[in-house]
Structure 1
Amino acid sequence: MISTTPKGDRRYAILGTGALGGYYGACLQRVGLEVHFLLHRDYQHVREQGLVIESADGDFTLPVVNAYDDVAQMPACDVVIVALKTTQNHLLSDMLPPVVKDDGVVLVLQNGMGIEQEVAQLVGSKRVMGGLCFLCSNKVEPGHIHHLDYKQITLGEYLPDYQPGGLTQRMRQIADDFERASIPITLAEDLLLARWQKLVWNIPYNGLSVVLDATTNELMADNSTRSLVEQLMGEVLAGASATGRKISDRFIQTMLDYTEKMTPYRTSMKIDYDERRPLEVEAIVGNPLRVATAAGTDLPLISMLYRQLKFLDMQNRRFNTD
């Protein structure tokens, strides 16, 4: 437990200082929390010049941050935020042990399904929490993050086999820190349900943005693609139901309304595709598809989308090896 740590004195580590980790970590540091950032390509730039946050809520700069390019140099922290792409999770076996305190927690802020299980194998299930971010943010230059819209996080405890974990003291403590940083937090008693709810948005918009070369507003503006989005969302609800998690049909309209109001957005998977980086196909589409299939539910549109994304991802990977 992290309950022995006085309010405001929790030490945070950010593994993956990109559009998501950099934004949330900067917000936490801005209100006085101790934050340590692991970086890769822009380590030297951030170490010398800090972080710049260009935000819909007001721009700010952190001229000095605790920046590292080696996890072994980081102090042990109360809360370790995993904000890497899931395609880099093979690195976590080396990253996590040195940086998470014995009584600390690993907060997994990644898209998709089944990620907490992987982390639990490394640090134990009692030290794992999941978070679902509804955030529109891009890293536009080294050390420069552009926050366009939304920023809320849903937190949930992880238990083996994704049994509902209820609401715990440490969830409330971490939520207090984020809310001090003006990040709205929802506490979820059932992490698996929360992950299926996030996939209602992630599967159609991330997937179709790559396959159809489109931004969110373009997908919403065309009747055919909007209808396809709704059909994919319906299949996500069917997948959730197969695992015993009921999501109301009204939730589809809620997600459509959110997206219509959203600043036109190039999804994270589309950015990765355009930059010829590996796509998070397995975590976001493959894992939930396999879970639903194992439960006896056929998801034909998601299955087709998965195969299309696998093909495009392989084409990108071949390009990078040529």
Structure 2
Amino acid sequence: MGNLSYAILGTGALGGFYGAKLQKAGNEVHFLLNSDYQQVSQNGLIVESKDGDFLLPQVNAYNNVNKMPSCDVVVVALKTTQNHLLTQIVPPVVKNNGIVLVLQNGLGIETEVVQIVNNVTVIGGLCFLCSNKVGAGHIHHLDYGKITLGEYALNYHPVGITARMRAIAKDFENAGIEIELTEDLLLGRWKKLVWNIPYNGLSVILDATTDELMTNLYTRTLVEQLMFEVQLGAKSTGRILPDSFIHTMLEYTVNMKPYRTSMKIDFDENRPLEVEAIVGNPLRIAAANDFSLPLIRCLYQQLKFLDRRNSL
């Protein structure tokens, strides 16, 4: 599966960063843009990164998916609040027997994608990335960047490490992106939620950055309690997260640069929040298995209130 071509659907802080790295490494990459189309089509992409700044003066930029060529790998890097668009933008650009790589936060995303396209492989990607879009076609990469890849099968049945996963991993690793392959995508998604639920949620509710949450005794305790509830949610689906993983996530966050989470940025910019995918879906899945997650439910209810008020 050499010489894979890539379509990036959602050229923001995440999709723009990974797509730019892939192109810089020599891959064929096509970018779908909205408001940034004019700027990027004329001036390319700028990436400021802790790993070294670079400019791509020319990129394959589109503002209409029907003008894009069919690609081997379609990277879904939109916020989940825009997933209603997937039925329109994924089928025209993915090759038959191609791959849809879902780089989104939350739970249950892959099951949405398999209902949209047939004869494709769906792979989930869990990104541990601190990156912000600071201007049109201008991305600031602050820290980390690792992606965990796992292939989706019906009901999240573990399928092991596949050749398709390895092919994508090779391209990303050649682009300087750290990759981990997981045999169990659902386990990987719960692991990502250990970070996403407390930090995204509390950053909005408490108007705080990650360093502020970690340097205060009370909020650090709350973060840890929420993480242990995510661990319980994972257990409800038969996935076991060791306590050591939670302590690792806490230490990662202590050592990372001060960060305003993606949900906090969306809130500050009056954009819809990814409450359902990140918090609501895990709650509902745990409840369906007769597991109660009271702290996460409280977080969910507060976020729904703030999201609704922010949209008025």
Which range, TM-score by smaller chain? over 0.9
Point out 4+ residue stretches in structure 1 off by more than 6 angstroms: none
Deviation at 1:125, TM superposition (A): 7.7
- Whether 1:220 and 2:191 are equivalent positions in the alignment is no
Aligned to 1:158: 152
Q: Distance in 1 between matches of 2:294 and 2:183?
A: 30
1:202 to 188, 196, 205: 196
Deviation at 1:124, TM superposition (A): 3.4
Gaps of 5+ in 1: none
- Count how many residue pairs are aligned between Structure 1 and Structure 2: 312
1:130 to 124, 130, 138: 124
Fraction of identical pairs, as percent: 68
2:293 to 287, 299, 302: 299
Aligned to 2:307: 313
RMSD: 0.7
- Give the counterpart letter for 1:216 in structure 2: T
Q: Distance in 1 between matches of 2:118 and 2:197?
A: 29
- Whether 1:35 and 2:38 are equivalent positions in the alignment is no
Q: Distance in 2 between matches of 1:189 and 1:63?
A: 38
Could you tell me whether the CA contact under 8 Å between 1:125 and 1:160 is conserved in 2? no
Return closer, same or farther for 1:268/1:253 CA change in 2, 3 Å cut-off: same
2:70 to 64, 71, 76: 76
How does the TM-score come out when normalised to structure 2?
0.99
Per-residue deviation, residues 125-181 of structure 1 (Å, max 9, x unmatched):
852110000000000000100000000000000001111121100100000000000
1:21 to 15, 26, 29: 15
Aligned to 2:51: 57
Aligned to 2:165: 171
Per-residue deviation, residues 82-141 of structure 1 (Å, max 9, x unmatched):
000000000000101110000210000000000000000011385211000000000000
Could you tell me whether the CA contact under 8 Å between 1:239 and 1:292 is conserved in 2? yes
2:247 to 243, 253, 261: 253
**Secondary structure of residue in 1 paired with 2:124:** strand
Q: Distance in 2 between matches of 1:289 and 1:150?
A: 28
Q: Distance in 2 between matches of 1:231 and 1:108?
A: 29
1:272 to 266, 276, 281: 266
Q: Distance in 2 between matches of 1:56 and 1:126?
A: 35
- Whether 1:92 and 2:90 are equivalent positions in the alignment is no
Gaps of 5+ in 2: none
**Secondary structure of residue in 2 paired with 1:182:** coil
**Secondary structure of residue in 2 paired with 1:266:** coil
- Whether 1:102 and 2:96 are equivalent positions in the alignment is yes
Aligned to 1:231: 225
Q: Distance in 2 between matches of 1:252 and 1:155?
A: 20
Could you tell me whether the CA contact under 8 Å between 1:52 and 1:143 is conserved in 2? yes
